C-alpha cells in the first residue's frame, strides 16, 4: 500500500512539474491525505494555494492572487468538480458564482 501511494505521489509530482512552469511548493498533508501546493508568480508573490487528491484532482478551497498579492479568486472543489460559492474580484466588481457539480447554479454581480 505504501509503495503504491509513493508511486502515485512521485507520478503526480512529475505531472505537476511538467504541467506548471511556475515555481511551487508541494507537500503531503498527512492529516488530510492531500497534496498542499503553493504556486508563485515570477516576482515571488503567491499566485495560487490549494490542494490535490493523491490521484491529481483539485480538492477543497483554492485561492488565486494577482502579481501584487491581492486575492482575485476564491474557489471550491470536490474531487475535481467545481462546487459551492466562487468569488471573483475584478477592479470594483465582485462576481459570486454558485456551482453544483461543475454546473453554474447561480450568479450574482455586486459593485464594491
Q: What is the pLDDT of residues 57-67, one digit of tens each?
A: 999 999 999 99
Is 2-111 assigned to CATH 2.60.40? no
- Grid cell at residue 41: 508568480
With cut-offs at 50, 70 and 90, classify the pLDDT of residue 12: very low
| Mean pLDDT in residue range 43-53 | 97
Can you spell out the DSSP letters for 88-108? EEETTEEEEEEEETTEEEEEE
**Alpha helices per DSSP H over 1-112:** 2-19
| Mean pLDDT in residue range 18-23 | 60
For the chain, the domains span 2-111
pTM, to two decimals: 0.77
CA distances from 16 to 4, 26, 48, 87 (A): 18, 10, 14, 25
Average pLDDT, the chain: 87
Amino acid at each position: 500500500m505504501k509503495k503504491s501511494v509513493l508511486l502515485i505521489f512521485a507520478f503526480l509530482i512529475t505531472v505537476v512539474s511538467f504541467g506548471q512552469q511556475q515555481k511551487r511548493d508541494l507537500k503531503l498533508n498527512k492529516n488530510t491525505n492531500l497534496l498542499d501546493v503553493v504556486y508563485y508568480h515570477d516576482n515571488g508573490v503567491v499566485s495560487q494555494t490549494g490542494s490535490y487528491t493523491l490521484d491529481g484532482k483539485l480538492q477543497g478551497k483554492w485561492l488565486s492572487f494577482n502579481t501584487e498579492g491581492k486575492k482575485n479568486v476564491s474557489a471550491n472543489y470536490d474531487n475535481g468538480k467545481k462546487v459551492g460559492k466562487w468569488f471573483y474580484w475584478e477592479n470594483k466588481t465582485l462576481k459570486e458564482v454558485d456551482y453544483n457539480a461543475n454546473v453554474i447554479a447561480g450568479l450574482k454581480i455586486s459593485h464594491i
